Amino acid sequence: MNEIGVREAKAQLSRLLRDVKRGRTWTITERGVPVARLQPVRESETREQQLKRLEEAGVLVPIARKRRTLPRPVAVERGLAQRFLEEDRSGR
C-alpha cells in the first residue's frame, strides 16, 4: 500500500485520484501516523458483498443469527395482575 503525507497529498490530489481510478489505494498520514485511506469506490457491490468483504478483512465481526427461545409464560390466577395494580395505586 502506498503512503503519502497530508501536505503532499493536498498538493498532488489530482495525481492521487488518477492512481485511485486505476485501482491503487493510498494511505494518507499525518506525522507518520495513518489517518485516512483513499481507495476506489466499489459501486457495483451489493450491501451483502460489502459486508462479506469487510468480514473477510477482519473489519467486521458477524453476529450470531441464532434464534432465541423465551421461557413459557407463568400461569397466574385470573385478575391477579389487576388486583396487584390496584393495591399498588391505593398505597396498601
The whole-angstrom separation of Cα 50 and Cα 57 is 11
Backbone phi and psi for residue 68, each to the nearest 5 degrees, phi listed first? -90, 140
Give the CATH H-level superfamily of domain 1-62. Answer: YefM-like domain (3.40.1620.10)
Q: In this predicted structure, what is the pLDDT of residue 3? A: 94
**Domain locations in the chain?**
1-62
Q: In this predicted structure, what is the pLDDT of residue 92? A: 60
> How far apart, in Å, are the Cα atoms of 55 and each of 22, 50, 59, 63, 64?
25, 9, 6, 11, 13
Grid coordinates belonging to 78: 385470573
Q: What is the pLDDT along the chain (92 residues), one digit of tens a residue?
A: 799 999 999 999 999 999 999 989 999 999 999 999 999 887 777 888 888 888 888 888 887 767 778 889 888 889 998 999 999 998 76
